[in-house]
Amino acid sequence: MRLVTFALLSLIHVHALAAITVDSIDALARAITRPNSHIIVEPGVYKLNYRLQIKADNVTIAGASGSPEDVVFRGNGMRPASENGGDEILIDVHADDFTLTGVTLEQSANHLIQIRAELGADNFTLTNSILRDSYEQLLKVSASPNPDSPYSHNGKISNSRFSYSATVGPNYYIGGIDAHRAKNWVVENNHFENIASPSEHIAEHAIHFWRNSHNTIVRNNTIINSDRGIGFGLGNVDNEHIGGIIENNIIFHNNKGHPYKDAGIVLESAKGTKVLSNTVLLHSGYPNAIEYRFGFTHSVEIRNNVVLGAIKQRNGASGTVAENAQLTLSDEKRSMWSTLLGK
């Protein structure tokens, strides 16, 4: 009995030692090398001159106050890597079970966060945070093109905000979440705004899972004035996305000053996806609220959605479209849009 008690006390002591409070980038960089660490970051603006590489499993970085505006990690600027001293990623996740909560990330030449499926990084969690103003996609799940390469499993992104502070991004090669070879990820209760290209080409989606992603759940998100809302797959390529649900999201676009606009929800070479009970209100000039495209898109269900704009089958896609409500432009609907925007 004495040995058991000693072992339990030892475990409690080890767990207590794993929690640490930091107030500098150098201290944070040292702390993240320790597995099973809960790191509390004191309020402040932290200039990042090197990337934070998460190589130890089961690490949490949490803002001390719980308010993401109080802890800001700032890169070298929202400008090309060639003008920024080279490639710049603020937090680079190689390991499993990394959690980030209660912080703001901003001003990077590439991505604010990159999760590496090519290294098998699983169980990533982002919650209660703000990602804004990077020169490329705000959050990236990267992957190897090798068909036998690893996936990133079981990520969760929730209760966070993704945006560009201006009404458009700095170039077209931007997006909110851009995920390759992601399996069983959940994206819920987030806000996306101004994921929009200023010139040359349309921006990537606010939420985009593709290149052999599986069973993604995207629900209860709000997407405002972004070139493309939610996308599963891209192009006429087999196994771009398999399964998954897009449900109860609100997608709204009324900024006719944006040079590029596309569908609020689009399935491209997506198999067996369900698009259920979303509200897609486009007053952008683009005609289609929801699109499903290409012959590799089949066995999909598009039901119970409320749309201003068409639900359009294109390029040989197939599926079930039923029980959707088609709206028309009216003062009443404009009032509803204002309510959605909080204005």
**Residues 82-94: pLDDT tens digits?**
888 889 999 999 9
Residue 21 lies in a domain: no
Q: Is the pLDDT reported for residue 14 higher than 90?
A: no
Residue 41 lies in a domain: no
CATH number (domain holding residue 325): 2.160.20.10
Computed on alpha carbons and rounded to an integer, the radius of gyration of the chain in Å comes to: 21
**Residues in contact with 18: Cβ distance below 8 Å, sequence separation at least 6, in sequence order:** 34, 36, 37, 38
* pLDDT bucket at 154, cuts 50 / 70 / 90: very high
What are the pLDDT digits (tens) for 311-320? 999 999 999 9
* 3-state DSSP assignment of residue 224: strand
Other beta carbons within 10 angstroms of residue 46's beta carbon come to 18
Residue 280 lies in a domain: yes
Domain count, the chain: 1
Q: Is the pLDDT reported for residue 50 higher than 70?
A: yes
Could you tell me which residues are beta bridge partners of residue 71?
44
Strands 300-303 and 91-93: unpaired
Residue 2 lies in a domain: no
Give the residue, 327 or 214, on which the prediction is more confident: 214
* pLDDT at residue 94, as a whole number: 99
* pLDDT bucket at 337, cuts 50 / 70 / 90: low
41 touches 22 (CB < 8 A): yes
Residue 187 lies in a domain: yes
Residue 28 lies in a domain: no
Token pair in block for residue 102: 């209660």
Parent domain of 186: 48-341
Mean pLDDT of 246-254: 97
Residue 336 lies in a domain: yes
The lowest-confidence range among 81-90, 193-202, 296-305, 318-327 is: 81-90
Residue 110 lies in a domain: yes
Other beta carbons within 10 angstroms of residue 15's beta carbon come to 11
* pLDDT at residue 180, as a whole number: 99
The lowest-confidence range among 62-66, 93-97, 335-339 is: 335-339
Give the residue, 222 or 261, on which the prediction is more confident: 222
Percent above pLDDT 90 for the chain: 86
Could you tell me which residues are beta bridge partners of residue 62?
40, 101
Mean pLDDT of 292-299: 98
Give the residue, 13 or 21, on which the prediction is more confident: 21
Q: Is the pLDDT reported for residue 297 higher than 90?
A: yes
